[in-house]
Amino acid sequence: MELRHLRYFVAVGSQGNYRKAAEALHVSQPALSKQISDLEEELGVALLERHSRGARLTSGGRAFLEEAQEILARVERAASKTRDAQRGDTDVLRIGQISFLASSFLPRALASFRRKYPHVDVKIGEMHPLAQFESLRQGRIDVGITASLSRDLPRVFAHRFLFRTKMGIVAAHDHPLLKKTSVSLSDLRDETLLCYTEQKQASGHRERIRSVFSQSGFRCPRIKLVEDYESLVVLLAGGHGVTIAPPFAEALAARGIAARPFIEEVELLFLEIRAVWLESRTAPLLRPFVDLLDRHSLPLRGDS
């Protein structure tokens, strides 16, 4: 068994399709099928079942997929650490975060971290939750800050609950709806709802908002997609629409936008904010940083 067998299997198992996996790996489909067959023969277990639309994992395949992903992630981390050591760049903390979620507490946590560890180079990037999970597996980031229920996290991840928050309407400060102390989802029927996409990922923001309206029984207003979060803030401040987001999202703009809570208690309006990392990772800076996140998110836990 070689690493290429694992990479090929993970590609097919994740894509659920031999053709798409072959295209992603830049190999021919027959060659890919042969490598998967060799792997199954060596293991003595059928990992995949072909069907008219592609391939599905067997029970053995599902178990092997998780282990194979972990092995490949370990290899990638080993290679990354080796390259870092060669450059003398060992004191680095890499963070993935969702734009709306970290604006109120992450700057304070980073400031405390800088005072305690001034030599550490902190790198931070905006990432969709699924992109965070993949980057954690591949060793490209050390910790993610995301909105995920514990039951939805793959078993290879450890996590720390930070706080629970309820999304509200976010709009230009002079928007008529913000004259109210609270707003109903039905009040948004004639509005344009702005939803952002992250790094060209599918818009989880849009799908969540659609589900909120479906769960509440109200018709979803017209949705307009915006390619990045900074553009969304500008459009909100300019009165080109409203959005649904955590109320502390207004902290990202010093002026121009504000938030109000919703009257409805729809479950999908609530977000659980967590720090997530690979359980097998033992980076010495990881736990101190997560402890600081925990401390600086404490004031937000009052609404949890």
The number of folded domains in the chain is: 3
Terminal alpha carbon distance of the chain: 48
69 with 218, same domain: the answer is no
Looking at the structure, tell me whether residues 155 and 275 fall in a common domain: yes
User: Against a cut of 0.75, is the pTM above it?
Assistant: no
Q: What is the CATH number of the domain that holds 299?
A: 3.40.190.10
* Of the residues 44, 75, 106, the one at which a domain ends: 75
Task: Please state, in angstroms and rounded to a whole number, the distance separating the CA atoms of residues 262 and 269.
Answer: 9
What does the alpha-carbon distance between residue 242 and residue 197 come to, in Å, rounded to a whole number?
A: 15
Q: Does residue 81 belong to any structural domain of this protein?
A: no
- pLDDT tens over the chain, length 304 residues: 888 888 888 888 887 888 888 888 888 988 888 988 888 888 898 888 888 778 888 888 888 888 888 888 888 877 776 766 555 455 789 999 887 665 678 888 999 999 988 888 899 988 877 888 889 988 889 999 988 777 777 788 889 999 888 989 999 999 999 999 999 999 999 999 998 875 545 457 888 899 999 989 999 999 999 887 788 888 999 999 999 988 765 555 556 888 899 999 998 899 888 999 988 776 678 889 999 999 888 777 654 4
Is 158 among the domain residues?
yes
CB 50 within 8 A of CB 16: no
